[in-house]
Amino acid sequence: MISDLFINIILVIAVTLIIGHALKDISEKFINTFYSKILLGVGGGIFGILLIIYSIHVEGTTILMDLRVFAIMMTSYLGGIIPTIVAGIIIELYGIVHYGMNISSIIATLDILLYIICFYLIDKKTKVELNRWLLKTLLSLIIILTSFYLLRNVENVQMICLLVCFVIVGFVEYFILDYVRKSNELYRGYKKDSTKDFLTGLCNRRQFDNMFNITLKRVAENNEKLSCLMIDIDYFKKINDTYGHSIGDIVLKELALILRKNCRVFDILGRIGGEEFCVLLYDCHKDQTYEIALRINKIVATHKFPIEENKFINITVSIGVAIYPYTTSKLDYIKEEADRALYNAKNSGRNKVCYSEIV
């Protein structure tokens, strides 16, 4: 029995780590979709089948105890009710095919139905993850022991063996799942921090350059339009010197919000310098680009930027615009052309929009 238990623990650890690794690069938005929940349920079902195949033999008896319930618990932990139902159906269908239709199969079916219902109720009523897991483990143990009493005359010593096996695997599974979940959260956090500007939440310089190169390739391949807006806060150093860097940070964050609200959801926005921002407008017509640039310039000039409670300041921005193929024929140099237009805007009075000339 010890060797069977060891195999099951290794199997639980291996499958949990593999699933955790597979999920780390998947966005939480996709994980929460119906399609991904079905896939998770299928994975949980396959895990349950493996646990059935590598059942634990209770010494001195003909009893085989499998730990399929942990596949259902894991699926419930990761995805909720939908994948739990899918995993339960797959596991039970395999059990019927493998063992045939008999009293044991009927009781096993009822057990899985109870697991699904009870796990759902526990998830709804209990907020703390550890408490959820402990309640599910205790409930599962009660259901399993009750089923064994109904099916066989199991001695107390054997029951203790079953209890020990179940508790050991239960704790191992929870701590591995908890480790995987926290590791994935840290990984996603680090990954996000490596691509986003810590202050504004826009793309940082490295990520923006990467997205810029991808966009250039796409535009060239599809013979489409691309607009580039270089935006710089006028006299930003004076703001920092007068009100302090904390107020300067507030101004940067507020400006980032204005840019988000006045650009399309698929446009690429980045903070590429201290007070310098860049926006890529994909497949945007010349007139629409002008409209967006002028709207941003006007909204910023009239927006009240908070510096203290009930105290605000106004700022302005200068914007340089380059549009391929309208104001520049050199796609690879569109950012340089927009930067040159920005330079002209700042040197001709600031608080204005200037456009690059066709070259």
Residue pLDDT, tens place only, 26-64: 766 776 788 888 988 998 899 888 888 887 665 555 556
What mean pLDDT is reported for the chain?
84
* Choice between 227 and 143, residue whose per-residue pLDDT is larger: 227
Residue at token pair 């840290």: 186
The answer to whether the beta carbons of residues 4 and 57 sit under 8 Å apart is yes
Catalytic-residue membership of 129:
no
pLDDT of 1 higher than 80: no
Residue pLDDT, tens place only, 76-104: 888 888 999 999 899 888 888 877 777 77
Q: In degrees rounded to 5, what are phi and psi of residue 128? A: -80, 130
Angle of helix 81-99 versus helix 68-79 axis, rounded to 10: 160
Q: Would you place residue 249 in the very low, low, confident or very high pLDDT band (cuts 50, 70, 90)? A: very high
| pLDDT on residue 344 | 92
Name which of 2-6, 22-26, 62-66 the model is least confident about: 62-66
| pLDDT on residue 358 | 53
Residue 324's beta-bridge partner residues?
A: 226
Q: How far apart are CA 85 and CA 106, in angstroms?
A: 17
| pLDDT on residue 61 | 55
Please state whether the predicted TM-score (pTM) of the whole model is above 0.85: no
Average pLDDT over residues 251-255: 94
Residue pLDDT, tens place only, 156-172: 555 666 677 777 778 88
Name which of 9-18, 79-88, 343-352 the model is least confident about: 9-18
| pLDDT on residue 254 | 93
Nearest to 227 by CA among 312, 284, 165: 284
Residues 6+ apart with CB under 8 A from 204: 195, 196, 197, 198, 270, 271
Q: Which residues in 18-177 belong to E strands, given as ranges?
A: 56-57, 64-65
| pLDDT on residue 359 | 42
Sign of torsion over alpha carbons 348, 352, 356, 357 = negative
Average pLDDT over residues 217-239: 92
The CATH number of the structural domain formed by 205-355 is: 3.30.70.270
pLDDT of 66 higher than 90: no
Q: How far apart are CA 72 and CA 227, in angstroms?
A: 51
The answer to whether the beta carbons of residues 311 and 292 sit under 8 Å apart is no
Q: Outline which parts of the chain fall under CATH 1.10.1760.
A: 2-193
Q: Would you place residue 222 in the very low, low, confident or very high pLDDT band (cuts 50, 70, 90)? A: confident
* Choice between 175 and 321, residue whose per-residue pLDDT is larger: 321
Residue 322: DSSP 8-state: E
| pLDDT on residue 157 | 58
Residue among 92, 173, 275, 337 flagged as catalytic: 275
Q: How far is CA 343 from the centre of its chain?
A: 39
Q: Outline which parts of the chain fall under CATH 3.30.70.270.
A: 205-355
Q: Which amino acid is at 280?
A: L
DSSP string, 40-60: HHHHHHHHHHHHHHTPEEPTT
Half-sphere exposure of 188 (CA within 13 A, CB side): 15
Q: How far apart are CA 307 and CA 147, in angstroms?
A: 67
* Choice between 174 and 232, residue whose per-residue pLDDT is larger: 232
Q: How far apart are CA 163 and CA 95, in angstroms?
A: 22
| pLDDT on residue 232 | 95
Residue 267: DSSP 8-state: S
Q: How far apart are CA 318 and CA 228, in angstroms?
A: 14
| pLDDT on residue 125 | 86
Nearest to 258 by CA among 343, 210, 250: 250
pLDDT of 10 higher than 70: yes
Average pLDDT over residues 207-214: 90
The CATH number of the structural domain formed by 2-193 is: 1.10.1760
Q: Would you place residue 250 in the very low, low, confident or very high pLDDT band (cuts 50, 70, 90)? A: very high
Average pLDDT over residues 295-312: 90
